[in-house]
């Protein structure tokens, strides 16, 4: 227990330190401009939905239900596909009408700024399905009392954003925000990859993805487990 608490605390501290340097570098590269506001708004929207779909309540509900399930492989894949389908649908809607979602979250922006911000919002929103997948895999790892990967994976996002800022530091502000937006997505991919590797090393890969094979065959069992 002490080891888990220490690992989580150190991982969070490490990520916060990187976040501090990321903010300093962002201020240095972008400065106090409309483009810095645009990036923070673009990243704020997927973060809002992340808190709804991917964090907190999901983990608290999923782990006890997974522990009780008699068909863990099928149950976990079923839950994953249901939530991921909803999140992908929202992500696609945001990419189809990014101006509408940008206007909803950026109430202080005029029409011209919303048009500028919309493409960045669309790119950043792809972080949401990635971070949901990360949260799902993190829940599986927590079930096996493995916390280290999740504790340190958050730092990968900050490292990705720092790398994006360093690569784009001499470019125009509009290009810098594109670099940052793709840095968010790459950070999400790195977090997902780290969790997939941990799932494989913990011997959960077969349990998790073996559920695809029996998903249809055990659909009545899924209904029983999800009651």
Q: What is the pLDDT of residue 56?
A: 63
Beta carbons of 209 and 74 less than 8 angstroms apart:
no
| 94-136 per-position pLDDT tens digit | 999 999 888 888 777 888 888 889 999 999 999 999 999 998 9
Q: What is the pLDDT of residue 225?
A: 53
Q: At what angle do helices 111-124 and 98-105 cross, to 10 degrees?
A: 110
Q: What is the pLDDT of residue 163?
A: 95
* Mean model confidence pLDDT for the chain: 83
- Quote the CA–CA distance of 36 and 179 in Å, as a whole number: 12
- Quote the CA–CA distance of 224 and 71 in Å, as a whole number: 10
Return the sign of the alpha-carbon dihedral for residues 157, 182, 50, 71: negative
Task: Name the band, by pLDDT with cuts 50, 70 and 90, for residue 91.
Answer: very high
* pTM assigned to the model: 0.86
Beta carbons of 163 and 183 less than 8 angstroms apart:
yes
Q: What is the pLDDT of residue 23?
A: 87
> What secondary structure, in 3-state letters, does the chain show?
CHHHHHHHHHHHHHHHHHHHHHHHHHHHHCCCCHHHHHHHHHHHHHHHHHHHHCCCHHHHHHHHHHHHCCCHHHHHHHHHHHHHHHHHHHHHHHHHCHHHHHHHHCCCCCHHHHHHHHHHHHHHCCHHHHHHHHHHHHHHHHHCCCCHHHHHHHHHHHHHHHHHHHHHCCCCHHHHHHHHHHHHHHHHHHHHHHHHHHHHHCCCHHHHHHHHCCCCCCHHHHHHHCC
Q: Which two tokens stand for residue 23?
A: 């903010």
Task: Name the band, by pLDDT with cuts 50, 70 and 90, for residue 208.
Answer: confident
Q: What is the pLDDT of residue 176?
A: 92
Q: For the ranges 71-75, 150-154, 176-180, which has the lowest average pLDDT?
A: 71-75
Tell whether the model's pLDDT for residue 210 goes beyond 70: no
CA angle (98, 99, 103) in 5-degree steps: 120
Task: Name the band, by pLDDT with cuts 50, 70 and 90, for residue 215.
Answer: low
Q: What is the pLDDT of residue 216?
A: 59
Phi, psi (rounded to 5 degrees) for 108: -90, -5
Q: What is the pLDDT of residue 220?
A: 56
- Quote the CA–CA distance of 66 and 130 in Å, as a whole number: 21
Spell out the domain ranges in the chain: 2-225
């Amino acid at each position: 227990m002490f080891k888990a608490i220490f690992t989580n605390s150190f991982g969070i501290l490490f990520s916060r330190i990187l976040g501090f340097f990321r903010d300093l570098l962002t201020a240095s590269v972008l400065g106090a401009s409309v483009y810095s506001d645009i990036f923070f708004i673009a990243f704020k929207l997927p973060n809002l939905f992340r808190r709804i779909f991917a964090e907190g309540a999901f983990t608290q509900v999923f782990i006890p239900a997974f522990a009780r399930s008699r068909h863990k492989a099928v149950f976990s894949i079923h839950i994953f596909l249901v939530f991921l389908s909803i999140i992908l649908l929202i992500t696609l809607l945001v990419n189809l009408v990014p101006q509408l979602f940008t206007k909803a979250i950026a109430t202080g922006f005029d029409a011209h700024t919303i048009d500028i911000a919309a493409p960045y919002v669309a790119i950043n929103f792809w972080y949401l399905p990635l971070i949901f997948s990360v949260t799902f895999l993190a829940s599986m790892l927590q079930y096996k009392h493995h916390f280290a990967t999740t504790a340190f994976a958050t730092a990968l996002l900050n490292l990705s954003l720092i790398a994006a800022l360093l690569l784009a530091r001499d470019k125009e502000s509009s290009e810098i925000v594109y670099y940052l937006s793709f840095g968010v997505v790459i950070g999400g991919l790195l977090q997902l990859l780290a969790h997939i590797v941990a799932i494989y090393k913990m011997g959960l890969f077969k349990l998790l993805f073996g559920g695809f094979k029996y998903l249809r065959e055990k659909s009545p069992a899924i209904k029983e487990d999800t009651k």
